[in-house]
Structure formats: structure tokens, C-alpha cells
Structure 1
Amino acid sequence: MPHDAITWLHLSDLHGGPPDDAGWAVLDQELRADLLHMAESLGPPDLVLLTGDLARTGEAPEYDQVDRLLERLDRWLGCSLPVVAVPGNHDLVRPRSPWRYVALRDYEAHPTLHRDLWDEGQPLLEPLFPHYGAWAARRVIEPLLQRGYEAHASPRVPGDLSVVFDKGQLRLGVVGLNTAWTHLDDDAEGRLHVLARQLYAALPPDPSGDPLAWFDDLDGALLLTHHPRGYLDARAKRAYKKAIHPPRRFVLALCGHQHEPWGEIASGLGGRPRAFCQAPSLYGMPYHGPGQKDRTWGYAWGRFTKGGQVRVWPRRRIEHDGGFRLEPDLGYQPAKDALGGVVMA
């Protein structure tokens, strides 16, 4: 295992169902075999990153399935992996009285919402993520703090957090932002919000008063969201580009939601590039969305090295010899390594 690199597993859209979901057992065999195959070359990962939709309906029993998966990962890989997660829209419990949350859809038009949420700190969003919030406190934040990691949970938006991982002389920060808090119905593309204030509240307070001082002593940082940036409304897209994820702040942004693997290195005119990596669904229902499109199953490995390079190894479930197995995703342009790695930065 290299001491000048931090390696992660990127899993998304688990859609954890009831404990007797037989489909998980078949996928488990394939996942275990692929993890062990990859670990032979890369070594065991240092952490697990979950980019939302851990549950199907956001109910408490569904997170037991997530716990069991994480326990199996630890057992297969022979180590206890720290976990960083963000919620998705399936982790949101849709309210029985949705009229109470209609104003969230047009958040910018309601200054009283800004005051109540940010100035007065009212727990307006906690009722939308009750079971995810309890799971994340128990399975993400508390274990990170117990193991001595610099972890901070936002006091404003459920699921927003930051943590620093140290390995040798390498310091990697991970920021998670909840993009699902306005995803209250199925018509969400181009309508969601994410705020610069979310980023600031997800970071630990600094004595200097600069909310972004957290980044100063890091070698690099990752940004986790559930939705890709195309799901944000026009104002949120501008905030994302200018205040949340400007060039050079994050070495890679990771997301899920669309159940398709996807990667991009994008830059404006004369600007430095920003890298994005979207993971497919790992488990869950075989079809999704309008027209019941086939779901792509898979996951990814990733690595950040001291020199600043980011490489990902996307894995995709394909038919093979009458069955299925996980192999390199040939939809990416691979780097010159035997595992089909892709250089993102």
C-alpha cells in the first residue's frame, strides 16, 4: 500500500431494500471478487465515499442494509474503513403535508427562509432526513471523531460535512454537500439548490474568520454531492461554479444519481480545468426512471497522490460467459495501466 497516496472506493445509489433482497447476494459475490482483484494491485482502500441514495424511501430499516454492506467490505478487505457520505433524494422522507415545504422549491424568493435557516438556525430541514441523519451521526461522524479524524458536521443542513484524512505527509480534505433538500418531487432537473453558505457551514469555524481557511493546509480536496451540477437551477449553477467549486479548490467532484458512469474534465476560456466523476448504481432495482431504462451497475476506485495526480478506476458490470462480472469501464479513456485507470488531474 503506497504511503504517498490516499485511495478510496466510490459507491453510489445503493437503494438499500429490505434485508431479504435476494439480488444483493448475487451482486455481493461479484463485488467481493472484484474488490479482491483490484486490491491485489492497488492495496486496500483508505476510505469509502458514498454519494447518496443509500435507501429507497429513507426509512430506518433500509440503513441496516447499508450497515451490513459496510461490514462486509471491512471483512473482505481485512480493514476497518472510515466512511464519508452525503444524502440523496431517496434518503429524503417526503412529507405527508408537502405544502409545508412548497417554499423550498423557490428558495431564493423567500427571504424569511434564509433568515430562519441561516440567521436563526431553525431546524427546518431535519424533518426531511430523520433516518439518514441518525444513521450518518452513528455511522459516519461518530466513528470519524472516535478515530481522531478532523470531522465537522454542519449545524444547518443535514448531511453537509467536512473531514481531513492524513496519511504520511499527505493531507486530503473531503467536503460533502446535500443537494437533495429541494428534491421534493420527480420534476427536479434544473431546479435544485446548493448554496455557498452550505459550504461555509460544512467547514469548521476558523479563528481568522475566513470560512475557507480550512483548505490552506491541504494537499488536495474532494467534493461529494448526490446530484451532478446539471440538476441545479441557474442561480445555484453560478454559485457552484464561482463560490463552491471554482478552479483549484477541489481536485475532483464526485456524484451519482443518474445511474450512469460519467467523467469530465472541464474548463472555461483560459481557466484551469475542473474534474468530475459520476458513479453508476451499485445495487438496487434493475430499472429506473421514465420508460424504465436499464440500470448500469458498478462502482469506482480512486487515488490522490502527493504530487497532485488524481486517478480513478471505473468498474462496470458486464455479461461474461453466461453470467456477469465487474470489469474496467471502457467508456472512459484509460491511462496506461493494466486496470484501466483514468487520469483526472
Structure 2
Amino acid sequence: MKHLFALVLLLIAPLKAQVQVESLPESGIQPQVITTGAGLVHVVYLKGDPKGCDIRHATRSAAGGAWSAPTTVNSVPRSAIAAGTIRGAQIALGKEGSLQVIWNGSTNAKGAKAAQAPLLHARLLPGAREFMPQQDLLGETTALDGGASIAANDKGHVAVVWHAAPSGASDERSRLVWVRYSADDGGTFSAPAALNATQPGVCACCSLRAHLGSDDTLSVLYRAATSPNSRGMHLITSKAGRATLRKLDDWKVAMCPMSSASLMPAAQSLRAAWENDGQIVTGLMDATTAQRIGPKNAKHPVLTQNTKGQTLITSVIGSGWSKAGILHWDVLDAQGRVTDSGDGEKLPVWGYAAAYARPDGSFVILH
């Protein structure tokens, strides 16, 4: 009977996910990770001067093994920026496993022709060894600041999303969330279109996050600035040219918090994670409530899910402008309950972590 009772306790106890922490190749920072259906892990990260650095790319099997020899994503040297933490590269998988990359360009880049930062895109086609030359997608929008995002699906549809001011404007309350679509896997893009024209105002130095569903529904998580001290998170849902806006929370703070957010598919919905008043908030986007998790003074949440339905949320504790923070993570079970937490080492200045799941359900955190 005692052995049976112990077995029952084991079966009903929450299973803790194994978490392994690794350093990036080349002492890189600001990783972005994505895994193909075939189990190939892509990582991009920044390397060099924070004011004008390069984006590097490597691959490995999700089951383990060495990283491939890193290659450079940007065709113009030192055309990325790490300073501020929220303007670096973002990635998405396109048709047949193409890799799509977007980033805020540096005005310190070799060959830069203007004082205004460009919005840069490059792609790695299936089977290719080198990225296609980068292209500027900023168009007639202006005052690029907080980081952009990119989303794609396996039909060859790509959406590049960023926030900027319309031509002739520059104040924060006039900023709009813009999108450009591609129907040829990032070869060409439509003209910029505003997604929140009915409710302008975007937190200038915060990044946003996009997801493009298999049915071409575009979801965008962004921090609004509808008034100087109102900086809550909003969700845009757009399909076939029609966009709806939903306010997720509010944050009464009269400054730009330089925040980032994360968005991923989960449980036939989308799970989001963002910062509010120094704590990480997460929830499913088809639910009416969200929960605060982890310690205080947390920033830059990144979501990862394994095949068991567990979600890893990495974050950075105590970071700021030119100030390094400490790695932290929380694990949620399939019902969204926190089952495990941990702390890691001090991260580099401008640094944060990303992660991927192995086939056995364990997680690998990269920093």
C-alpha cells in the first residue's frame, strides 16, 4: 500500500522540466532562436560594437551537437544595433524553412547614407549558404526607434511590422504600427499600411512582437502611448485588411520603459508575455485574465514551449541602460501554473536570453 501511495503521489505531482543554460557562440548577445519541424535550430545573435554591430547565424540539431560555423546575416558591415536592448534582430521561418530576419539598422554602419535609422530585412533561402543582400523597408515612415518584428507562414506569406511616425510627424502620440506584406517569401513587399490608425500612439523605445497564422491572421503585441502616462499593452488582430484593437492592461508611468514582449502559439491560441511595472505578465490571448509571475524588476520575457505543453519564460532581472542584469526563468505547466523557477548568471550589458526545446522536452537557454 505504501508503494502504491508513493506511485500515486508521483503521478499527480507536477513534472519539472529540465533546464540547461549555455553560452552563445562567439560571446554573442541578444539571441533569437527558432526550430524547424525537422528539428533544426536556427540562432541569430549580435556581435561587435553595440552602436554598430553584425548579426551572426548558426544552426544545430535540437537533439544536441555542435553549432555550425557562424555566418553573417547583414550584407553591410556593422549595420545592426545592440544598444538599448530592444532594436536587435528578430526572426521567422518562411516557406520550406526559409529564414527571415528583420532589424533596426544602425546609423553608424559603414556605408550609411542618412542620419535616419533604416529598417533592414534579409533572408536565407532553402538550401542557400548565404543570406540575400539586405533591403531597407522603412518606406516613407520616419523616426524609427523601438524594435521591429517579423512573422511568416509556410505559404510564403511574410509580414514585417514596426512602429514609426507618419511622414511629417515625430511626436510619440502620432506614432503608428505599420505592416508590409510579402506573398513571395520576402522577395518583394507591399507599401506600408497603418494597423492602428484609429488609435495612434505607440511607446517610442519599446519593441513589439508579431505572429502570422496559417490562415494569414496577423497578431501584433505592442505598448501603446495614448497619453504621456498611459503605457499599457495592446493587441492588434488583422486579416484581409481589417484590424481590431484590444487593450490588455494599463501601466501608469510617464516614461518609456524600453520593454520587449513575446508571442507564440499555445493551446489553440496565442500566449503572450510582457512587462508591467517591473514584473512579467503572461496569458493566453483568448482568455480574459493574465497572471504576474517571477520576481520584481524583471524585463525582456521570451517564451518557449515543449512537446509536453510546458512553457519556459526567460527574463532578465535588474537590467537597465548600460546596466547588466541576472538571468531568471519560470516554467509553466499546460494549465499555466508555475511549477519551477531558477536563476542564472549575470548577463552581458544589453543582454537577454532565448531558449529552445529538445525532443525529450528539456529546455536549452542560450545567452
**So what's the TM-score if we normalise by structure 2?**
0.33
As a proportion of its length, which structure holds more helix? 1
The structure with more strand, counted as a fraction of residues: 2
Q: Which has the higher contact order (CA 8 A, sep 6+)?
A: 1
